[in-house]
Amino acid sequence: MKFPESKVLQNLPKQFFASLVKKVNAKVATGADVINLGQGNPDQPTPDFIVKSMQEQTAIPANHKYSQFRGDPALKQAAAAFYKREYGVELDPEKEIAILGGSKIGLVELPFAILNPGDTMLLPDPGYPDYLSGVALAQVKLQLMRLREANDFMPDYDELDPKVVSDAKLMYLNYPNNPTGAVATPEFFKKTVAFANQNHIGVVHDFAYGAIGFDGKRPISFLQTPGAKDVGIETYTFSKSYNMAGWRIGFAAGNADMIEAINLIQDHLFVSVFPAMQKAAITALNSDQQTVRKLVALYEKRRNQFFKAARAIGWEPYHSGGSFYAWMPVPEGYTSESFADLLLDKAAVAVAPGNGFGAGGEGFVRVGLLIDEPRFTEACQRIKKLNLF
């Protein structure tokens, strides 16, 4: 007996990163020494003090019971205290914070928690591919907001079709940006709050790389903007700040109605997160953040090393101000994908083609700053031999 997938599942987008990994693995299988600049997985270990906390909490029998449905109140208190300390933002722990099994869960589930089939949402182009999963599962309409280098990869709301704007109910943003590394300005977030208010559009700011800013500038939280909680929420993950990608824990903060919708849908889908994990997350948030500062310094050092090596061969980057990515232009005569395939085939250097992040990413490739510095120089020297620049 066969059981075909539902139409909803059949409409899910293809997993872009799975295809990329398959190509890289095939090259590795030939015996090639592949320098993988295409990944987005933190390469540093989780700080010892967080691991120790998890070990201690796992040994406590009470932590092996079901979690509280809407998360450990102590973790929500810690998240509120973190936002107050780090960003000067006041949050009600019970009404304005929701615990997530990784921020991806919140980003994918929110469209079908607050939208109805046929509603319209706005997504950045280029943008994180998994946003599209929420569109498909919620059976909503999608309109893209083009991010252009001339505008530092922030959407220009004035260029959006008025009909699209009037139909839109929800909008996603992401700064520091994946894949471009662009950072938002206070002025842009002020425009966003005004735009959302004027057009009754909810805002979701994906703050996954919120800790990672360069050149002496710290990324700002959307919630620092006056009126931000009236129109939206922000999702925060432990994956990037604390190298806890595989732990799958994060939280959403902001507008109470959106937070309630997240909590309600999670009441039916999950029983929150393993209690010991939540205790370890509290340890991370309550720490002095020294390990985060060291991590940011490492990424900035890597960015600078890669930029230096790339410029030495005539490959000029977009000057990313945050995240752990570099956004690199494709040479004339190539598409994002053909250029990425060429680098993998001829130089054994893997990069992520920009078109995998949307049509707006065409003409670029994404480089992950997730290997040791000498390998950046080696990668660029390999690319130099192809005489592309």
Mean pLDDT of 185-205: 98
Q: Which stretch of 4-13, 78-87, 89-98 has the lowest confidence by average pLDDT?
A: 4-13
In this prediction, residue 13 carries a pLDDT of 86
Tokens of 64: 């092996």
In this prediction, residue 18 carries a pLDDT of 79
Mean pLDDT of 191-214: 98
pLDDT(16) > 90: no
Q: Which stretch of 4-18, 171-185, 307-321 has the lowest confidence by average pLDDT?
A: 4-18
pLDDT(19) > 90: no
Q: Which stretch of 12-16, 23-27, 212-216 has the lowest confidence by average pLDDT?
A: 12-16
The model's pLDDT over 215-254, given as tens digits with 9 standing for 90+, comes to 999 999 999 999 999 999 999 999 999 999 999 999 999 9
In this prediction, residue 39 carries a pLDDT of 86
CA-wise closest residue to 317 among 351, 357, 356, 359:
351
The span from the CA of 279 to the CA of 195, in Å, is: 38
Q: Which stretch of 64-68, 171-175, 228-232, 241-245 has the lowest confidence by average pLDDT?
A: 64-68
Q: Where are the beta strands (DSSP E) in 126-176?
A: 141-146, 168-174
In this prediction, residue 25 carries a pLDDT of 92
Going by pLDDT thresholds of 50, 70 and 90, the confidence category of residue 140 is very high
CA-wise closest residue to 274 among 49, 75, 47, 52:
75
DSSP 24-51: HHHHHHTT---EE-S--S--SPPPHHHH
> Residue 214, Cβ neighbours under 10 Å: how many?
22
In this prediction, residue 62 carries a pLDDT of 94
In this prediction, residue 14 carries a pLDDT of 81
Q: Is 99 helix (H, G, I), strand (E, B) or coil?
A: strand
pLDDT(20) > 90: no
Mean pLDDT of 188-195: 98
Sheet holding 250-254, edge to edge: 97-100, 250-254, 232-237, 202-206, 168-174, 120-125, 141-146
Average pLDDT over all residues of the chain: 95
User: What is the reported pTM?
Assistant: 0.96
Q: How distant, in Å, are the alpha carbons of 203, 322, 326 from that of 178?
A: 17, 9, 9
Mean pLDDT of 17-44: 90
Q: Which stretch of 11-15, 65-69, 323-327 has the lowest confidence by average pLDDT?
A: 11-15
- All domains of the chain in start order, with CATH: 7-45+291-384 (3.90.1150.10), 49-286 (3.40.640.10)
Is the Cβ–Cβ distance between 335 and 351 less than 8 Å? Answer: no
pLDDT(17) > 80: no
> Residue 18, Cβ neighbours under 10 Å: how many?
8
pLDDT above 90 as % of the chain: 93
